[in-house]
């Protein structure tokens, strides 16, 4: 049996030189590696922008074959209590490194999930074992990291990747895996991924298992997300005053295609800006959409709330 390999891991860079974009980060990290003098680091930014990748790539560049003995990787969302700091991380930190790099490396992913007590314990550990260990804290929201830790770290902000960078990554996978993807498929992939390269790789892998020639329809089928054309057609239909036909289209997406209400309402929000109505009217419809999104998140019936939102669009069009 052929082993199933996750493409997000398969195409993860093994060196800082291979990291896509984030030059403002990689140049500084490469300088640290060259001097073998790394400070405590805090990597912050949205998901899929290369935070963990940069940390792992730097550890490869720094330790090479001795990486396994000198690097501790842990995920704070799994081990978020004070005990993991007092025992697992503290025990690792107090031992000397192996090789010519004078310190070990602790990579703490999703550090913003650590409890406040655990962060206080981590602060003391960072202070006490600076001579033997460096820490890289990775998080989506740096505001959730206590100030004493932030003040001890060199902070790196990761930016969302541009469409050009995403296309470069897509092209690499398509060539390596011998796939075919249409221009509208690339556009749909980037729209759904929202700058997250991990999501790009996973969506491509699922899509390739459906068809080798990947189109926009294949991408949306793989993602189980509402197609923009379907939602656009539904909104234009209801704005023309045909509520029955628009409701039929909604039922098809929700009940037959099995799409989640959250995904449909998210696409409705996107399509409002494409309607040929004044900007002031778009603002009012966005406000209504936000209200019904909140109702669904609070446990309201998906079908009733979405039909009610469509009714609001119809009432709005009749007033105009």
- The rounded distance, in Å, linking the Cα atoms of 112 and 114 is 5
Q: Does domain 7-158 have CATH number 3.40.109.10?
A: no
Half-sphere exposure of residue 195: CA atoms within 13 angstroms, side-chain side: 12
- The rounded distance, in Å, linking the Cα atoms of 111 and 116 is 11
For helices 51-63 and 23-35, angle between their N-to-C axes, nearest 10 degrees: 20
- The rounded distance, in Å, linking the Cα atoms of 33 and 236 is 56
pLDDT of residue 136: 93
For the chain, give every domain's residue range: 7-158, 175-223, 228-319
CATH numeric code, 228-319: 1.20.272.10
Q: For each successive 10 residues of the chain (320 residues), what is the average pLDDT?
A: 62 84 87 89 89 91 89 75 72 84 89 86 87 91 91 90 86 88 89 84 87 86 84 91 91 87 90 88 91 92 92 84
% of residues, the chain, pLDDT over 90: 28
Helix (H) or strand (E) holding 287: helix 279-297
- The rounded distance, in Å, linking the Cα atoms of 228 and 187 is 12
- The rounded distance, in Å, linking the Cα atoms of 207 and 180 is 11
- The rounded distance, in Å, linking the Cα atoms of 96 and 132 is 6
- 255-280 pLDDT, tens digit each: 888 888 988 999 899 899 988 888 88
pTM: 0.75
Tokens of 124: 């003391």
Fold of 175-223: Helicase, Ruva Protein; domain 3 (1.10.8)
3-state secondary structure of 155: strand
pLDDT of residue 3: 44
Helix (H) or strand (E) holding 261: helix 261-272
pLDDT of residue 309: 93
């Amino acid at each position: 049996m052929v082993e199933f390999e996750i493409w997000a891991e398969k195409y993860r860079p093994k060196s800082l030189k291979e990291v896509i974009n984030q030059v403002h980060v990689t140049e500084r990290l490469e300088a640290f590696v060259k001097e073998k003098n790394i400070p405590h680091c805090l990597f912050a930014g949205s998901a899929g922008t290369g935070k963990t990748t940069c940390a792992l790539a730097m550890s490869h560049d720094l330790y090479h074959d001795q990486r396994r003995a000198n690097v501790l990787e842990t995920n704070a969302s799994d081990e978020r209590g004070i005990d993991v700091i007092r025992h697992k991380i503290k025990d690792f930190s107090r031992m000397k490194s192996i090789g010519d790099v004078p310190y070990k490396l602790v990579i703490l992913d999703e550090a913003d999930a650590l409890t406040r007590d655990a962060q206080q314990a981590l602060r003391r550990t960072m202070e006490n074992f600076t001579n033997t260990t460096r820490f890289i804290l990775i998080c989506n929201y740096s505001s959730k990291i206590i100030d004493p830790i932030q003040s001890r770290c060199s902070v790196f902000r990761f930016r969302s990747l541009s469409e050009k960078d995403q296309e470069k990554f897509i092209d690499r996978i398509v060539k390596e895996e011998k796939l075919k993807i249409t221009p509208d498929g690339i556009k749909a992939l980037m729209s759904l991924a929202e700058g997250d390269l991990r999501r790009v790789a996973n969506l491509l892998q699922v899509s390739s298992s459906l068809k080798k020639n990947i189109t926009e329809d294949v991408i949306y089928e793989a993602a189980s997300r509402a197609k923009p054309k379907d939602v656009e057609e539904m909104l234009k239909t209801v704005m023309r005053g045909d509520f029955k036909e628009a409701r039929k289209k909604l039922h098809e997406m929700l009940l037959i295609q099995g799409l989640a209400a959250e995904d449909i309402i998210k696409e409705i929000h996107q399509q409002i800006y494409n309607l040929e109505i004044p900007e002031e009217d778009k603002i009012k419809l966005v406000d209504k959409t936000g209200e019904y999104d909140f109702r669904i998140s609070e446990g309201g019936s998906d079908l009733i709330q979405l039909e009610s939102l469509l009714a609001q669009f119809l009432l709005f069009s009749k007033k105009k």
